[in-house]
Amino acid sequence: MSDRQHVTLEDVARTAEVSLATASRALNGTTRVRDDLRERVLSAAAELAYTPNAHAQALAGGSRRTVGVICHDISDPYFAAITRGVMRVADSHGLLVMLAGTFADPDRELACVSALRAQRATAILLTGSAFEDRAWERRMAAELDPYRRGGGRVAVVTRHRSLKADTVAPDNRGGARAMAEAMHRLGHRRFAVVTGPERLTTVADRVTGFREGLAAAGIELSERDVFTSSFDRDGGYAAAGALLAARHRATCVLTASDVMALGVVSALREAGLSVPDDVSVTGFDDLPLVRDLAPPLSTVALPLERLGAEALELALDPGSASRGRVRRLPGEVLLRGSTARPRRRRRA
Amino acid sequence: MSDRQHVTLEDVARTAEVSLATASRALNGTTRVRDDLRERVLSAAAELAYTPNAHAQALAGGSRRTVGVICHDISDPYFAAITRGVMRVADSHGLLVMLAGTFADPDRELACVSALRAQRATAILLTGSAFEDRAWERRMAAELDPYRRGGGRVAVVTRHRSLKADTVAPDNRGGARAMAEAMHRLGHRRFAVVTGPERLTTVADRVTGFREGLAAAGIELSERDVFTSSFDRDGGYAAAGALLAARHRATCVLTASDVMALGVVSALREAGLSVPDDVSVTGFDDLPLVRDLAPPLSTVALPLERLGAEALELALDPGSASRGRVRRLPGEVLLRGSTARPRRRRRA
DNA sequence: CTGTTAGCGCATTCAT
DNA sequence: ATGAATGCGCTAACAG
């Protein structure tokens, strides 16, 4: 039993008693090969449990069978859904997905791109929102440009300022605006916003949308109406705590994501408030699970899987050489049980 | 602008005016290199935005920087949590994660292993439960054995009969038994089980556990008490519908997973039943989100991230040459709001 | 310490 | 249609 015993194409060729070239051709179907020879090769390969060495294939210039996906945290259902969309189309193209998690660390994101570059991935998909940071953008471009020059394709989900990559852009701003307007129409006049750090472009866009929608109704959001925390469930919980502590009189809390809304609702409920009787709460994304909440969450629905699927399709399609094409996807306001008309007077 | 312009180590060496070998050593820190030379190499590499070709590195026998994770569906929070654990330790080892989704298709699972094998992944982690199918097991072994022979490591989460791979095994059976007993102690006497297809070993183990726990209390589960459907949220919803249609008189529904429980609760609620006043419902896994449900779900808590993390650690640790070591992790019964003492008489 | 050289496994020219 | 030879980019002997 030798140390590492990889079956190579040469083994297959020898077993089939053909040349290396013929074995390669028979396996790849590149060129016509006499039937009996091909049979021999195929059965030899099967017998030896041969698997081509993808590295050798890639090196020899034969293939690039992987795509890289970079997200903040795969256990966030938002990224899970997007990644699922990516995997669907990757699967249909016979591509393998390399998933990299950055845990929202800008430096780690850079490192991931570098690693994916090294793997000569066919395409790199940036699914997390960008960081609003000049220096970081420059470094990211410094990674991506050589990658592109080497034939790599790049696509991003959501806006990446000055990255001039193919983009799939959900309408965060418009969706947020529409939601704010819808809540105003419902009768709400006192609002609070619960959100993540605004250096994330997604967050910034959504908050801007909320502001615009409210402004259109003549309502200004002051600094004290915006509660910022981490962009996850616990952030929502904490922000709602702060809101409660500040005795904020909002009848409606606009939240920048469904996951944060989850935390908001829990905090409110623990404080003895009823959603939506005392406070209406809205989310953003329409994660699969929020319809199963009690009450089901009103939210801005985004076609998450499509976001991922189209990002990969865009990257794979040589269309315009991966210049900055932008595919916009709308968000849809979904009013469910977590929102209601405000009561005349607030209890407690 | 040539077609594909990859910067290679040779370019770096030439720019730094050193030999190829020196450049390689300077970059990898393999051997001591004179400081000034090393400086020249490093700055040349930076200037040219050089990234080593991972394929060439792998081919030359230098590295195996990726691990493969195979799961059923990354948008299932169960797999997302496990994968997150894997990614954490992968990150700390400088490894990249290749994620493959099988959508619970046995054939696709085989194909994924083959692809990962081709990529010469350091380790392959099977996180989905096995399929109870002799022929399938044989074919899987036929993929895995040569992979191992080539130095590849394999670890699985949950039981894979006769795969003799390193295993991280949550105590599905024991946890299920404990939950059944807990519900009996709470006062329940009429039970129903909602579950996925029993050809999945995880499902089979959990159902067995339920049966054992109930049997210990003198309660036999008949065929009509078990509602089988797809192992996801919609499956739970459908199964609960069937249960309702059959006018089953259970006061407690034991569900094989949290995701299924999500569907069960929704269906029950839509039918006008209250959880837990009319029916108690239990889940399995303790997904992060279930504590935010109203009522929060009683469930068997599994350390999901640890499952993934330990699987990779096990695979990476050369310990006993990847023989069938088994690391068992207990499940803990968590009683929350979705369960209560049965009422004397059932309403409706 | 540094440079030269030989493969790693494969796809792909070239000849035949 | 098939076989022999070249090189992809890199690391690890091997010499100096």
Q: Do B119 and A81 touch (CB under 8 A)?
A: no
Q: Is the pLDDT score of A169 beyond 50?
A: yes
Provide CB contacts within 8 A for A36, sequence distance 6+.
none
pLDDT surpasses 50 at B149: yes
| Contact across the interface for A75 and B66, Cβ inside 8 Å | no
Instruction: Protein contacts on strand D: list nucleotides below 7 Å from a Cβ.
Output: 1-5, 7-13
Confidence of residue B320 (pLDDT cuts 50, 70, 90): low
The answer to whether residues A189 and A218 belong to one domain is yes
**Strand D, CB < 7 A, residues 34-73 of B:** 50, 52-53, 56-57, 59-63
| A119 shares a domain with A182 | no
pLDDT range class, residue B323, cuts 50, 70, 90? low
pLDDT at res. A101 = 93
The percentage of chain A sitting over the pLDDT mark of 70, rounded to a whole number, equals 95
B54–A292 CB contact, under 8 Å:
no
Is the Cβ of B64 closer than 8 Å to some Cβ of chain A? no
Choose the weakest-confidence range: A242-256, A268-282, B162-176, B296-310: B162-176
Whether the CB of A55 is less than 7 Å away from nucleic strand D comes out as: no
Amino acid making up residue B172: N
Cα–Cα dist A301/B268, whole Å? 25
Judged against a pLDDT cut of 70, whether residue A28 lies above it is answered with yes
Q: Based on the fold, state whether residues B191 and B248 are members of the same structural domain.
A: yes
Are B96 and B206 part of one and the same domain? Answer: no
Q: Answer whether B277 touches A (CB < 8 Å).
A: no
Range of the domain at B11: 4-52
Q: How far is the CA of A95 from the C1' of C13 (A)?
A: 27
Note whether A296 and A321 are same-domain residues. no
Nearest to B286 by CA among B251, B226, B332: B332
What sign does the CA torsion over A275, A276, A281, A287 have?
positive
Q: Are A54 and B119 in contact (CB under 8 A)?
A: yes
Confidence category of residue B157, pLDDT binned at 50, 70, 90: very high
Output the pLDDT for position A348. Answer: 43
A335 has a chain B CB within 8 A of its CB: no
Sign of CA dihedral B69, B75, B79, B85: positive
Distance CA B181, CA B187 (A): 10
Lowest mean pLDDT among A15-24, B34-43, B253-262, B322-331: B322-331
Measured between CA atoms, the residue of chain A closest to residue B268 is A292
- Strand pairing category for B191-195 and B166-170: unpaired
Q: Report the DSSP beta bridge partners of residue B333.
A: B300
Q: How many domains does chain B have?
A: 3
CA nearest neighbour of A165 among A326, A328, A329: A326
Instruction: For chain B, give the percent of residues with pLDDT over 70.
Output: 95
Rg (CA), chain A: 26
Provide the pLDDT confidence category of residue B164 given band limits of 50, 70 and 90.
confident
Contact of B232 with A288, CB cutoff 8 Å: no
Same domain, A41 and A120: no
Note whether B176 and B272 are same-domain residues: yes
**What is the C-alpha separation between A29 and B152, in angstroms, rounded?**
28
Spatial separation of the C-alpha atoms in residues A285 and A30, rounded to whole Å: 45
Residue B346 lies inside a defined structural domain of this protein: no
Residue B1 has pLDDT above 60, yes or no: no
Which chain A positions have a beta carbon within 8 Å of B120's beta carbon?
53-55
B303 touches chain A (CB under 8 A): no
Structure confidence at residue A321 as a pLDDT band (50, 70, 90): low
Residue B192, domain CATH: 3.40.50.2300
Asked if A115 is an interface residue toward chain B (Cβ–Cβ < 8 A), one would say: yes
Q: Which amino acid would we find at residue A140?
A: M
- For residue A10, being part of any structural domain is answered with yes
Going through chain A in order, the beta strands assigned E by DSSP cover 66-71, 96-101, 123-126, 153-157, 166-170, 191-195, 226-228, 252-255, 280-282, 299-301, 326-329, 332-334
Which of A65, A75, A118 minimises the CB distance to B52?
A: A118
Residue B34 Cβ under 7 A from any strand C atom: yes
Give the orientation angle of helix A9-16 with respect to helix A35-48, to 10 degrees: 130
Q: Does B236 touch chain A (CB under 8 A)?
A: no
Cα(B289)–Cα(B66) distance, integer angstroms: 30
A160 CB neighbours strand C below 7 A? no
If pLDDT is split at 50, 70 and 90, which confidence band does B342 have? very high
The reported pTM is 0.93
* Beta strands B191-195 and B252-255, pairing class: parallel
Question: For B202-217, how does the pLDDT look when each residue is reduced to its tens digit (9 = 90+)?
Answer: 999 999 999 999 999 9
Does B335 map to a domain? Answer: no
Report residues 13-72 of A contacting strand C, contact meaning Cβ closer than 7 Å: 20-21, 24-25, 27-28, 30, 50, 52-53, 56-57, 59-63
Average pLDDT of chain A? 92
The Cα–Cα gap between A109 and B264 comes to 39
CA distance B58 to chain A (A): 7
**What is the number of CB-based contacts under 8 A between chain A and chain B?**
164
Task: Write phi, then psi, for A60 (nearest 5 degrees).
Answer: -70, 0
Taking the C-alpha atoms of residue B212 and residue B200, their distance in angstroms, rounded to an integer, is 18
- Rounded Cα distance between B184 and B273, Å, is 21
Strand partners, B100: B70
Do A233 and B292 count as a contact with CB atoms less than 8 A apart? yes
**CATH number of the structural domain spanning residue B25:** 1.10.260.40
Give residue A319's pLDDT: 72
Minimum CA–CA partner of B119 in chain A: A54
Q: What crossing angle do the helices spanning B233-245 and B258-270 adopt, rounded to 10°?
A: 40
Residue from the list B5, B65, B119 with its beta carbon closest to the beta carbon of A150: B5
Are A120 and B81 a contacting pair at CB < 8 A?
no
Task: Decide if A23 is inside a domain.
Answer: yes
Same domain flag for A154 and A258: no
Q: Which of B15, B30, B52 is the last residue of a domain?
A: B52
B195 CA, D15 C1': Å apart = 68
Distance between CA B179 and CA B171 in Å, rounded?
12
Query: B333, B302 in Cβ contact below 8 A?
Result: no
pLDDT, tens digit, for every residue of A116-157? 999 999 999 999 878 888 899 899 999 999 998 888 999 999
How confident is the prediction for chain B on average, in pLDDT? 92
Residues 6+ apart with CB under 8 A from B18: B26, B37, B40, B41
Residue with tokens 């699972």, as numbered in its chain: B109
Q: Which of A63-72, A111-120, B1-10 has the weakest average pLDDT?
A: B1-10
**pLDDT digit string, tens, across residues A29-46:** 888 889 999 999 999 999
Please tell me the distance in Å from A97's CA to the nearest CA on chain B: 6
Residue B319 vs residue B39, higher pLDDT: B39
Residue B163 located in a structural domain: yes
Taking the C1' atom of every nucleotide in all shown strands and the CA of A7, the nearest one is: C9
State how far the Cα of A24 lies from the Cα of A100, in Å rounded to an integer. 33
Q: Are residues A182 and A294 in the same domain?
A: yes
pLDDT tier at A323, thresholds 50, 70, 90 = low
**A176 and A92 housed in the same domain:** no
Contacting residues of B for A86, CB less than 8 Å apart: none
**B137 in any annotated domain:** yes
Asked if A74 and B83 come within 8 Å (Cβ–Cβ), the reply is yes
Q: Which residues of A77-106 are buried (b: 16+ CB within 10 A; e: fewer)?
A: bbbbbbbbbbbbbbbeeebbbbbbbbebeb
Does residue B345 sit within a domain?
no
Q: In which band, very low, low, confident or very high, does the pLDDT at B67 lie, cut at 50, 70 and 90?
A: very high
- Quote the pLDDT of residue B4: 59
Distance from CA of A197 to the nearest CA of B (A): 22
A287 and A217 within one domain: yes
Does strand C come within 7 Å of the CB of B41? no
pLDDT of res. B318:
76
- pLDDT above 80 for B62: no
How much is the average pLDDT of B35-46?
A: 93
B321 falls within a domain: yes
> Does residue B348 surpass a pLDDT of 80?
no
CB-based contact, B255 to chain A, within 8 Å:
no
Nearest chain B Cα distance for residue A218, angstroms: 35
DSSP A147-167: HHHTT-EEEEES--TT---EE
Q: Are residues A109 and A149 in the same domain?
A: yes
Range in A238-242, B51-55, B176-180 with the lowest mean pLDDT? B51-55
For residue B70, the chain A residues in CB contact (below 8 A) are: none
Q: Higher-confidence residue: B336 or A321? A: B336
Q: Do A115 and B96 touch (CB under 8 A)?
A: yes
What are the tens digits of pLDDT across the range A186-195? 999 999 999 9
Which residue matches tokens 């990898």?
B28
The verdict on a CB contact (< 8 Å) between B120 and A293 is: no
Q: Please state which of the ranges A2-6, A46-50, A112-116, A193-197 shows the lowest mean pLDDT.
A: A2-6
pLDDT at residue A191, rounded to an integer: 98
Identify the burial level of B61 via C-beta atoms within 10 angstroms of its C-beta, where 0-12 means exposed, 13-18 middle and 19 or more buried.
exposed
